[in-house]
Structure 1
Amino acid sequence: MTDTSCEQSTRPLEQVLGQRVVTTLVRADQVELGDFVDSADGLIRVREIVQRPQYWTLAGDPPGQAFRVAFHPNGESPAPRTQVIHRRNCTVRVRRGVSRFGRLTGHSKRVTSHNPVKRGMYTLVDGYNSACSCGWKSSTVHKSKHRAGEAWLGHKAGQLTEAAYAANSALLLIATTEIVHPQLPPVPWYFTNTARGDRRHGHGIATADLKDLPVDQARAVLAAWRQVLGLTVDEAHSWDKDKSAGGIVHTLRGPRRRLDDMRLSLNGERGERLILQAAYETALKAEETAANTAPWQDAPE
């Protein structure tokens, strides 16, 4: 594997963390404090995790935001600005510092002296070379061992990130699209790998649930992604239904009335699939609930 140009999108985070940043895919219940995750408000740094039986809430603030937590007598601190809710087994995109990753198989750091010259009892070193056991070698002669080690960490971060891109091509498609079209509104993606059909070879699906946004804002997000060049709209699996087309849907909370229901399905050039959706529901009135309750169910009091 080689370093990928898509890693450019993590450079602002490198300034925040002071180290190279790795983009990877993890389950929502494996996200750690300090990780950076996607949200409808942009990238956030997680500083609060709320665990529920099926859903995990990841709350945080934009990267670079000063985390000056005031110490109160009761131990309270300001609440995070943004929340993202995912099922605990959802796979989400995470950015974290390379120092939080352990050893990488097949990649060992090799820092050597560049053009050393013996002068009596001293050896003059004209910088340091940075290389990896995989065959990678830095083209720059570094002034210190520390800088040479940082260059190797950059190589390691690129390898970990590229491995995530290879595992799910939808992740690579989104990363590339965000670089080419930086004006696109951010969305909280989660990813799925398909094991059957023509998508089994590294292809995947990225889905974004926008129901927490206002209806008009969610519709604007779908319209913006619809205009992206290189993505084909799958009209058969895309729709935008308003209140007049609403119907009764049965959920875990009982029957509810479906209001606005919108979905945009996009296909990439290499079999990737991006899905943006937002379904808005509301509770039924008492008489509607009774009429839509199955005979073996007790109607709510």
Structure 2
Amino acid sequence: MTDTSCEQSTRPLDQVLGQPVVTILTRADEVELGDAVDSPAGIIRVREIVQRPQYWTLAGDPPGQAFHVAFHPKGESPAPRTQVIHRRNSTIRVRRGVSHFGRLTGHSKHVTSHNPVKRGMYTLVDGYNSACSCGWKSSTVHKSKHRAGEAWLGHKAGQLTESTYAANSALLLIATAEVVHPQLPPAPWYFTNITSGSRHGHGIATADLRDLPADQARAVLAAWRQVPGLTVDEAYSWDRDEGAGGIVHTLRGPRRRLADMRLSLDGERGERLILQAAYETDLTAEEVAASKAPGLDSGPDW
């Protein structure tokens, strides 16, 4: 018999990892166990990765959620409660402990004694200073070399995170909105960069909400529509309830489109956020036969 229970209280990721956390953009197929990623239910710490040819499923639980397994002969733990599916080459936001990163150009750690006084064969100090070769210096006098080194790691994590935000303006916009408006519902974002045209150099963030029920997806779109500073591009935004008449042709063959919603938002500096969800269902045998009637383009039938 296996008795599993879950502690509902969660802790910040840096407390869970015991070290400062870096925010980076990386491909879905480069995510590691222990990383934290976005999901429709919020941030999850990945403890299961399922690899498929084109899609990777990242599954986990909120950081700090502890599972208790009373007994199992093979030591198995309960399955993760939340999962998010991305294309393997999609660029997503990942939070990772700073100790996983090597040297950072222009940033070297300098830990020195604070107010050292020579007493015979001993040197007494009042603590330790933490500084960086870039000019940064901790305002706190730390009680040990270890604490001083941790302070520098926090500085290093901040520099790495800032470089990530600088690489994609849409990510910076989302991170800022999440802090200013903590009530915003989470979304499984993935990111691209605009490489041509008038918005060259800016970022695009896209969230596919089809794993949510349609009413919840509409609630997410409505919440982001109300964020101050974002402009709705009505030409590329819609909410279509196709009803019984919408048949679309996909790689899986003809399917009935139940609903199709999309929200396109423009930031003040040229960023773009896209939230979308499309819901489809299989056709009946009679509808499939009708869709393959002569003169109709039924699309590929896999």
What is the TM-score with the length of structure 1 in the denominator?
A: 0.91
2:228 is aligned to 229
What is the rounded CA distance, in whole Å, between the counterparts of 1:251 and 1:169 in structure 2?
Answer: 33
- Aligned CA distance change for structure 1 residues 109 and 300 (closer, same or farther; 3 Å): closer
Q: Which amino acid aligns with 2:153?
A: L
1:187 is aligned to 187
- 1:68 is paired with a residue whose SS is strand
- Aligned CA distance change for structure 1 residues 234 and 110 (closer, same or farther; 3 Å): same
**Superposition pairs for residues 1-301 of structure 1, below 5 Å?**
12-69=12-69, 72-74=72-74, 76-201=76-201, 203-244=202-243, 247-293=246-292
What is the rounded CA distance, in whole Å, between the counterparts of 2:145 and 2:301 in structure 1?
Answer: 71
- 1:157 is paired with a residue whose SS is helix
Shift of 1:69: 4.7
What is the rounded CA distance, in whole Å, between the counterparts of 2:94 and 2:187 in structure 1?
Answer: 14
125-134 vs 167-176, greater mean Cα deviation = 125-134
- Aligned CA distance change for structure 1 residues 235 and 59 (closer, same or farther; 3 Å): same
Shift of 1:19: 1.1
What is the rounded CA distance, in whole Å, between the counterparts of 2:214 and 2:298 in structure 1?
Answer: 33
What is the rounded CA distance, in whole Å, between the counterparts of 1:260 and 1:169 in structure 2?
Answer: 31
Q: Which amino acid aligns with 1:189?
A: W
Tell me, yes or no, if the aligned pair for 2:254 and 2:299 is still in contact at 8 Å: no
What is the rounded CA distance, in whole Å, between the counterparts of 1:75 and 1:155 in structure 2?
Answer: 39
Shift of 1:25: 0.7
Gaps of 5+ in 2: 1-10
281-290 vs 211-220, greater mean Cα deviation = 281-290
Tell me, yes or no, if the aligned pair for 1:246 and 1:260 is still in contact at 8 Å: no
What is the rounded CA distance, in whole Å, between the counterparts of 2:126 and 2:268 in structure 1?
Answer: 48
Q: Which amino acid aligns with 1:214?
A: P
- Aligned CA distance change for structure 1 residues 120 and 74 (closer, same or farther; 3 Å): closer
- Aligned CA distance change for structure 1 residues 71 and 190 (closer, same or farther; 3 Å): farther
Shift of 1:193: 1.2
What is the rounded CA distance, in whole Å, between the counterparts of 1:149 and 1:126 in structure 2?
Answer: 16
What is the rounded CA distance, in whole Å, between the counterparts of 1:298 and 1:13 in structure 2?
Answer: 47
2:4 is aligned to none
What is the rounded CA distance, in whole Å, between the counterparts of 2:116 and 2:199 in structure 1?
Answer: 53
- 1:192 is paired with a residue whose SS is strand
Tell me, yes or no, if the aligned pair for 1:255 and 1:293 is still in contact at 8 Å: no
Shift of 1:300: 7.3
CA RMSD of aligned residues (A): 2.1
What is the TM-score with the length of structure 2 in the denominator?
A: 0.90
- Aligned CA distance change for structure 1 residues 81 and 244 (closer, same or farther; 3 Å): same
129-138 vs 231-240, greater mean Cα deviation = 129-138
What is the rounded CA distance, in whole Å, between the counterparts of 1:181 and 1:277 in structure 2?
Answer: 21
Shift of 1:218: 0.7
What is the rounded CA distance, in whole Å, between the counterparts of 2:130 and 2:77 in structure 1?
Answer: 44
What is the rounded CA distance, in whole Å, between the counterparts of 1:49 and 1:299 in structure 2?
Answer: 31
Shift of 1:283: 0.9
Between Structure 1 and Structure 2, which shows a larger proportion of helix residues? 1
- 1:79 is paired with a residue whose SS is coil
Shift of 1:23: 0.7
Paired residues, what number?
Answer: 290
Shift of 1:288: 2.1
Shift of 1:292: 2.5
Shift of 1:71: 5.4
Shift of 1:199: 2.8
What is the rounded CA distance, in whole Å, between the counterparts of 1:199 and 1:163 in structure 2?
Answer: 20
1:7 is aligned to none
Percent identity of paired positions between Structure 1 and Structure 2: 84
- Aligned CA distance change for structure 1 residues 251 and 298 (closer, same or farther; 3 Å): closer
What is the rounded CA distance, in whole Å, between the counterparts of 2:34 and 2:195 in structure 1?
Answer: 32
What whole-Å deviation, never above 9, does each CA across 1:151-201 have from its counterpart, x for those lacking one? 100000001101110110111100000001001111111111121123322
